[in-house]
Structure 1
């Protein structure tokens, strides 16, 4: 009788603690989405979802606040008007390069070739891109003085900027000679193109001009040496303080094909335009090179170099120099 009772009890307990039947397939998925017996949605009760939601709100709020705090601290170390690292400590170093305009179309962004057609019977579309690019530069310089007049100063060798760091010397486009002006289509319609050359901006950099003709390096082109010597003779034996500029063909054939070059307004950049101090409206000085008779139907490799005691030249790194090609048909 006792055994019957135990067996009976085991049977009763077995029926009480028997696990529910396992659901499979769509029934299991539907129960995961919403279990009406336990009041669960996606495996969690409403209370559980509320707790985990509040936790992540607090967690990400603290994370965002910490990131914002670090950003504010970092910004306090920066100056909006000057770089943190200057000169040789900066990424661009303390040796300026040269830039040129006009640039090729955006479709040929890696190219440095200025290629155009000119002459009678040639549509202006054959050279319009190049004149449009130079017109943008021309218009920018012609209107710049109207927007930043309070920062401008009219400078000259007799009246340089000196220590007025809150002002910059005005570069007057009207000092550029024809045909390197907007009204003459910068010479492209006649097949005698002009190219604008500028010295790239480096914050705080000042040139160290040659103070005597005996300092001129041996590798300087003879034409520029003669120009500096004549400049010194005209100014009491001391050349004017300039970053001098030379442009010539890279190879013997290029030197022959490039023809005579005329520089305007001077063959270089007067020292009083420097240093660049990030003054609002600052405009880099320009030199227009006028190629008077370039050989047609050949590609001419042209290299321009800036010359001062603290400017070195490296073709591979493009410091102190710039390179472009010219071809007119």
Structure 2
């Protein structure tokens, strides 16, 4: 046998674990400071660097900069933008001046059929308005027996009359007739027409002394056509309903038709109640119970400074108490289209008549 293969008897394959002595100090595993400490130091150093860079961006005393720019750089930047915006403003003013020199201040470049109003329809859009309207955001006209409330509502119509419906003595205006219509007037000249052509005296039901009908709880409502430059009633047939109201049926085309105004209840229930109306107009038919008339010779509107838009006064009588009535007024002429959704060729408002109800006094004896 080979001597190298002989193992001594004192060497054994078993491993014996000697228990630790109670007197021996056992060391706990320590944290590797070589790894953690540099990371903490790097984090602290990074935060300090960011704070320092932020403060240095706002103001760096060494480089003498403010917000990253030196005083010379800021001066160059301010000079650049000053010159840039100055040139931009001059360019804008030159464009405005050029457009002002090209455009006519009295005659619009596009109107009627050539304007955007005729995009979806072949007819010119004619709008309407009404007065009094104490609150411009509300279409309610309240009729009451309270004198203070009557004065408040009447003052709204009086103010509109004094501002828009009265021509001054030195107004540049001429009398318009069928032989001398507004279309033959000199540019800048208006037709002689104002409030007193319809309400000539103070005994008129719609006069100022009668508080425009509110004093007797029979209100007078002014119904007018909005100003549309160059529009006048075109040649055509008189509307069928106007022919029925006039009692004259004619299928011939009229070269110079008048403009008619009618008012009625918006709903069937309103039409059953609203039946006693009186129209006050200018021209050959000053009073009518069926319709109002605006003569054709007051058209077209030519943007004259002293122009007063023709109107019709509608007086409502025998209004029921505590009943809200919705009224719709329409303008009738050849070529006018009525659109309820867009309120074209019509106007709507509400009437509400009330009385101050006072409790009876009871005497306790």
TM-score bin (small chain): 0.7 to 0.9
1:55-81 CA-partner distances (Å, limit 9, x unpaired): 222222232233333333333442222
Residue pair 1:221, 1:246 contacting (<8 A) in 2 also: no
Taking a change above 3 Å as real, the CA distance of residues 162 and 25 of structure 1, as seen in their structure-2 partners, is closer
Q: What SS is found at the alignment partner of 2:240?
A: coil
Q: How many Å apart are 1:274 and its aligned residue?
A: 1.0
| Structure 2 Cα separation of the partners of residues 294 and 188 of structure 1 | 12
The TM-score with structure 2 as length reference comes to 0.69
Counterpart Cα distance in 2 of 1:68 and 1:239: 47
1:318 aligns with 2:318: no
Aligned to 1:246: 262
**What does residue 152 of structure 1 align with?**
173
After TM superposition, list the pairs within 5 Å mapping 1:88-107 onto structure 2: 88-93=113-118, 94-106=124-136
Q: Say whether the 8 Å CA contact 1:198–1:285 is kept in structure 2.
A: yes
CA distance in 2, matches of 1:172, 1:66: 46
- Residue 234 of structure 2 contacts residue 255 of structure 2 at CA under 8 Å; is this kept in 1? no
Question: Which of the numbers 78, 90, 97 marks the counterpart of 1:72?
Answer: 97
User: Which whole-Å deviations, capped at 9, do the CAs of 1:241-284 have from their partners, x for residues lacking one?
Assistant: 42111112233332221132111133211112111111112110
1:201 equivalent in alignment to 2:224: no
Larger proportion of helix? 1
Task: Look up the SS of the partner of 1:183 in the other structure.
Answer: coil
Contact residue 187 and residue 193 of structure 1 kept, 8 A: yes
Matches within 5 A, 1:11-22: none
2:315 aligns to what SS in structure 1?
Answer: strand
Match of 1:268? 293
Cα distance, 1:218 vs. partner? 3.1
* Alignment length (residue pairs): 287
Extract unaligned runs of 5+ from structure 1: 1-20, 233-237
1:125: which partner in 2?
A: 148
Which sections of structure 2, spanning at least 5 residues, go unmatched?
1-44, 119-123, 287-291, 355-365
- Structure 2 CA distance for aligned equivalents of residues 241 and 115 of structure 1: 35
Determine which structure has more spread, i.e. the larger CA radius of gyration.
2
Write the distance in 2 (CA, Å) between the matches of 1:188 and 1:221.
Answer: 32
Q: Give yes or no for contact 2:167–2:193 (8 Å, CA) kept in 1.
A: no
After superposing the two structures, state which structure 1 stretch, 307-316 or 179-188, moved more. Answer: 307-316
> Are 1:260 and 1:291, in contact at CA under 8 Å, matched by a contact in 2?
yes
Whole-angstrom distance in 2 between the partners of 1:33 and 1:319: 63
How far 1:200 sits from its partner (Å)? 0.9
Is 1:194–1:290's contact at 8 Å kept on the other side of the alignment?
yes
Offset at residue 289 of structure 1 (A): 0.8
Are 2:226 and 1:166 aligned?
Answer: no
Residues 269-288 of structure 1 mapped to structure 2, 5 A cutoff: 269-288=294-313
- Given candidates 185, 192, 204, the residue that maps to 2:211 is 185
CA RMSD of aligned residues (A): 2.9
| 1:144 match: secondary structure | coil
